[in-house]
Amino acid sequence: MPWQAYDWQHQLADAIRDPDRLLAALGLNPALLPAARAAAARFPLLVPASYLARIRPGRVDDPLLRQILPLGAELSVGPNERVDPVGDLTARQAPGVLSKYRGRALLIATPACAIHCRYCFRRDFPYRENQAGRGRWQAALDWLGTHTDVSEVILSGGDPLTLDDHRLAELIDALGQIPHLRRLRLHTRLPVVIPDRVTEALAVQLSTSRLSAVVVIHANHPAEINTEVRNALAGLKTAGIPLLNQSVLLAGINDAAETLALLSETLFEAGVLPYYLHQLDPAVGTDHFAVSDDRARDILGELRARLPGYLVPRLVRELPGETAKRPL
Ligand SMILES: *Cc1c(COP(=O)(O)O)cnc(C)c1O
Ligand code: SF4
């Protein structure tokens, strides 16, 4: 298995953060630059070379480019857009702990991501006050230790796999010592964005924890899944980790049954089952990605007609204050 040629931390450090460099690297029209700069000033551009390599040059409508290119459309605030679109702030229980659903608690393990998705629902999340990382895990661990009804902890962020193996081991070991916890879930885009992040040490760590681990990746389009991603997923799969995928339904990116069907089939061949297809959360500056509920239901109907049931993701919308994500 090709573990670590040019290690993932260097790949992350060398990621493109400058809109000028992005446009030049992809041979895109420099006229896009002023808007890209303005939008990136609100939510920075971030894209590592491994993901960039999957974007077709010169194509402003490329579905992978659309996920990362800052656009002027982000600067207009739609009537339904909110800074805290899914009620995260009222769900906060301790620094870095969100609890909305019975039996599960979500830990904001770090504010960092390996890519900035323009549609991100946490683009305005006040991480500074709400992260559990940087020596601040104790309060989160204490909260989990006293809440015996919690059986599953979800490491989220940001992206928990931006933590290095050592920090992650510390956290996972500490979680493993909380007797009522049974499952450890990771919500991460890293196996897709920087596949080299899936080190052998990571796979061993997850498979040897007392907790049953499950990894939920995030891919939106079949072109995101290349050979490197398949190898990374195979590393986790070989270690016995169940793999699921969540996607966001995004206008102009994956709002077609054909695309989503191919995504499910491509993921299945890589050992991943579809989990959720999320309706977009109305974060500020994202409404150009929204797909209407009617259209979303039509797309899902078409997927059901084309695919075996186990390859059809659950179409859901998250509404603040509900006991689960709501099926559409
Ligand atoms: C989405 C989410 C979960 C996980 O929900 P599942 O339906 O179990 O995937 C848990 N906690 C929070 C705060 C969430 O936002
Ligand atoms: S990886 Fe996830 S948390 Fe990070 S920017 Fe993308 S959608 Fe948001």
Tens digit of pLDDT for each residue in 120-157? 988 887 776 666 655 678 999 999 999 999 999 999 98
* DSSP three-state, residue 82: strand
Given this model, what pLDDT does residue 290 score?
97
Neighbours of 97 (CB within 10 A): 23
**Protein residue whose Cα sits closest to atom 3 of ligand 2:** 158
- pLDDT for position 193: 98
CATH fold, domain 89-327, is TIM Barrel (3.20.20)
Centroid of ligand 1 to alpha carbon of 265 (angstroms): 25
- The conformation of residue 15, written as its DSSP 8-state character, comes to -
Considering every ligand atom shown, identify the ligand nearest to the alpha carbon of residue 99 and give its number.
Answer: 1
Cα of 323 from ligand 2 centre, angstroms: 23
Ligand 2 pocket mutation pick from 69, 113, 187, 218 by most atoms within 8 angstroms of CB: 113
Is the pTM value of this prediction over 0.85? Answer: yes
CB of 312 closer than 8 Å to CB of 245? no
| Ranges of CATH 3.20.20.70 domains, the chain | 89-327
**What number of CA atoms fall less than 13 Å from residue 320's CA on the CB side?**
14
Query: What is the pLDDT, as a whole number, of residue 134?
Result: 54
* Whether the CB of 278 sits within 6 Å of ligand 1: no
Distance CA 301, CA 276 (A): 15
Q: Ligand 2: residues whose CB is within 6 Å?
A: 113, 115-117, 120, 122, 157-159, 189, 218
Atom of ligand 1 nearest to the CA of 88: 13
- Residue 284 CA to residue 207 CA, distance in Å, equals 38
324 CA: nearest ligand 1 atom: 7
Determine the distance separating the centroid of ligand 2 and the alpha carbon of 309, expressed in angstroms: 28
In eight-state DSSP terms, residue 279 is P
Ligand 2 pocket: which of 67, 159, 248 to mutate (most atoms <8 Å of CB)?
Answer: 159
Quote the pLDDT of residue 5. 60
> 91: Cβ below 6 Å to ligand 1?
yes
Nearest 5°: CA angle at 205, between 201 and 209? 170
Query: What is the model's pLDDT at position 80?
Result: 87
C-alpha 175 to ligand 1 mean position (Å): 18
- Cα 93 to ligand 1 centroid, rounded to whole Å: 15
What are the b/e assignments for 232-266, b being 16+ CB within 10 Å? Answer: bbbbbbebebebbbbbbbbbebbbebebbbbbbbb
Which residue puts its alpha carbon closest to atom 6 of ligand 2? 117
* pLDDT block averages, 10 residues each, the chain of length 328: 70 97 98 97 97 98 98 91 89 92 96 96 77 75 97 95 96 98 98 97 97 98 98 98 98 98 98 98 95 98 98 96 94
Q: Check pocket membership of 172 for ligand 1, CB cut-off 6 A.
A: no
CA 93 to chain centre: 22
Tell me the two tokens of residue 277.
């297809």
Residue linked to tokens 């656009």: 71
pLDDT confidence of residue 136: 74
